[in-house]
Structure 1
Amino acid sequence: MTRVHGTAPERTEVRVGFMPLTDCAPVVMASVLGFDEQQGIRIVLSKEASWSSVRDRLVRGQLDAAHVLYGLMVGVQLGIGAAPHPLAILMGLSRNGQAITLSRRLAERGAVDGSSLAQLIRAEPRGYSFGHTFPTGNHALWLYYWLAAAGIDPFRHAYSVTVPPPQMAANLAAGHMDGYCAGEPWGARAVRDGSGFTVATSQEIWPDHPGKVLGTSSAFADACPNTCRALVAAVLQAARWMDASGANRSAAAEVLSSPAYVGAAREDIAPRLLGRYEDGLGNSWDDANPVRFHDGGAVNHPWLSDATWFMTQQVRWGLLKKEPDYEAVAAALNRMRLYREAAELAEVPTFSALHRSSRLIDDVVWDGSDPHGYLASCTIRR
C-alpha cells in the first residue's frame, strides 16, 4: 500500500493496551493479521487487568495507545476524580454489543424487564446493587440511563460498584450484586452458567451507540503523528476485515478465545459476535444492530456529538459539577484531521458531518445540537 504522506513513523514499535473483551478484536486482529506491518509499524499488545490500569498506563506513557472506554477518555480529559490530563481519540473501534444482565434471583421474583424491576424495588426496597466497569465509563452510563428510563433512580433506589469485566459473572453468581452492565462476552457468560439473564442490550438503549475507541495521550499524538496515522490505518483495515463476513468473525472468535487475549470459551464469544442472542429466559433472536467494527467507516469516524452525549450524562449524574464547553472539549479530544489522513491511507471513506442523530430508549432524539436543553429534560438526575 502506498504511503500517501511520505513520512515514516517516528516509532515503529507501538505499545497498545486492551481489555479482555470481544470488542478488542480490531486491535488484536490488526496485529495477528499483519496489518500493522503493512503500515510500517509493529503493534505490541498488552492485556490489562482493569480500566483504571488502562487509564494510569496511558497517562504515564507506559502505553502508547489503547482500546479504551469512550467515557473514560472524556472523564480523564475533564479531570473527573483526578487532575485533568489531555488525551486524544484517534478513531472509534466499535458500536453496540454490550449488555445489562440481571440475576436469576430477580427473575424468580418477577423482575424480567425495566418496569417489573421498578415494581419490585418499590414493593421491596432494599440495597439493590449493580455493577459497572468504570465510574465515568460507558457501562456506568448505559446502566444509569436504562434504570432511569424505567423510573428507577440509580442513586436513590440502588447503588453501584465497580468491577473488572471478567469478574462480573462470578460476582453475580456469588450473590454479591443484583445485576451489571459490561461488554461481551461477560454478559453471555452469565447466561451460559445460569446465574443471570440479559434484560437489555446496549443497542436497545441507543441503537448504534459509540463503544470503545482507540485512545492515546495528547502528547503522543503530537510527538508521533505519523506513527498514529499508521496505527489508525492498520486498525481500520482490521475493522473492515471484521465486518466483511461472518467467516471472518468466526475466525476472530477463535483467536480471541486464547488466554493471551479474551481468555473466554469460544461458545461465550462467537454467538453474540455474530449477532445471535439468547437471553437466558428462553428467548433467542438475531439482533438487527449487533456489534459493528466498521460499517463503511461510520463506526470509526470521530463524531463530536458522541463525545458531547457522554459529557451530558456525566453532568446528569453529578460526575461533572458544571456543564463544560461541549463542542470545544469534543473537538479537542477527537483528532479529526489525523483520522482523515489515516483513513486515506487505509482507503476508507470519511464523512463531512461532525454530528449524527439517534433515538434512544426513552424516545428522546439525541443529535448534539442542544446539550443544555437535552440535559434539562432529564427528570431523574443527581
Structure 2
Amino acid sequence: MAQNFRYVVKDRKGRDHKGVISAESQAAAASVLTEQGYFVTVLEPVKSLSDYIEISTGRTGSPELSVYCRNLAAMLSAGLSITQTLNILSRQAPNKVLRIASSRLLADLESGSSLSAAMGKYRNTFPGIAVTMVEAGELGGFLEETFDNLAIYFKKESELRDKIVTATLYPAIVTGFALVILGVLLNFVLPNFAGMFNTAGVEIPPLTAFLLDLSVFVKANALLILSAVLGLFVLFRVMLRSGPGKRLRDMVILKLPVIGELSAKVATSRFSRTLSTLLRSGVPILQALGIVHRLTGNSVISESILKAGEAMEKGESMSAPLAESNVLAPMVTQMIAIGEETGTLEEMLAKISNIYDEEIERAVKRLTSVLEPAIIIVLSVAVGIILLSVVIPMFDIITQVPG
C-alpha cells in the first residue's frame, strides 16, 4: 500500500525543493527522487492530520485549476513528457493541494497507472469532467489539446461564479448592514427614549409600545430565537438535499421574476459550455450528457437533459425533448436542432455559451438595479417606523410645555 512521504531535496545547482511523494516504501520514494536527479536531504512519512486531510480531501477552485491545466498544456506542447511535467508541477503548481496532487499523480504514473485513472483517485481535487476528458485525450492521443480545453472551461466557470457572487454580494452586505442598524435602534436607542417619556409622564402610543415590547421580547428570548432560526435553517437544508425538496426549490427559483431569469441563463450557459467542451475533447455524446446533467446547478433542467439522453439512446434527436420540457429558451433548442442537422453541434453549443455569458452579465446588472432600490425602500420604511415611534411622543412632550 502506498504511503506519503515528505521530502526536502537539492537539485544539481544546490537549490532546495520541498514536497510530498507517494510510494510503496521510504526506499522506493528515495529511489524515485534520486532517479529524477535530486540529492535527498530529508525524507519522512507524512504524520500530521492536517497533511493527511489536505492530501486526501483537498479541494481547489476553478481559477487554480485553469492555471494548472494551462501549465500542463504549455509544457506538453514544449515537448516535455507527462512525468517531467508533473515533476515540475509538484514544486510549482498554483497551490499546495495541486502540488501534493501532482506528486501523487507522478507516483501513480511511475507505478504503471494511466493519468485519468490516477486523477480519478482524487475527485475532490480533479472534478469528474476533468477525469473524463483526460481519459478521452489519452485514448485519442490529444492530451495537450484536452488540457487547453480544460483551462478554458475552468476559466469560464470562474468568470461565471464571479458574476453570480457580484449579483448577490452587494444586496447581502446592504441587508446585513440594515439589520445591524435596526437592531441598534430597537435595542438601544428606543429604550432610552422610553425612559425619557416615562419621566415626562407622556402616554406611550401603541406603535411605540409595540416596538418596545418587541425589543424586550427579543432580549429575553434571544437564545431561544437563535436556536429556532438555526433549527429551521438546518431543517431547510436537509429538505433541499432530498430529490423532491431540491426540485421544488429549483422550480420556485425559475418562476421568480429577475432571479429566475438569471438562474435559467446560468444553467443554460453551464450546460452548453460543458457539453461543447466534452464533445470537443472526444467524449461520446451519451457519456457527455451523463456528466453534464450533474453540473447545471438546477435539477429541473437536469431532468430535461436526462430525458434528452434517453431519447438519443432510442435514436431520436436531443433537441426535441429539450424543447418539450420548456425549461430552455426556444432559441437554444432551435440552435441545438440546427447543430444536430448540420453536424455542427459542438460549435452551436459554444455559440450558445458565449451568447448566454453576455446575457448573464446583463441579467446581473438588471438584478442589482432592481434589488438596490428595493432594499433601500424596505430599510427606509423600517427606520421611518422606528423614528415615528419616537417623534410622536416627542410632540406630546412639546405640547405639554407651558407657552
- Higher strand fraction: Structure 1 or Structure 2? 1
Q: Which has the higher helix share?
A: 2
Length-normalised TM-score, structure 1: 0.28
The structure showing larger relative contact order (alpha-carbon pairs under 8 Å, at least 6 residues apart) is 1
Which of structures 1 and 2 has the bigger CA Rg? 2
TM-score (norm 2): 0.27
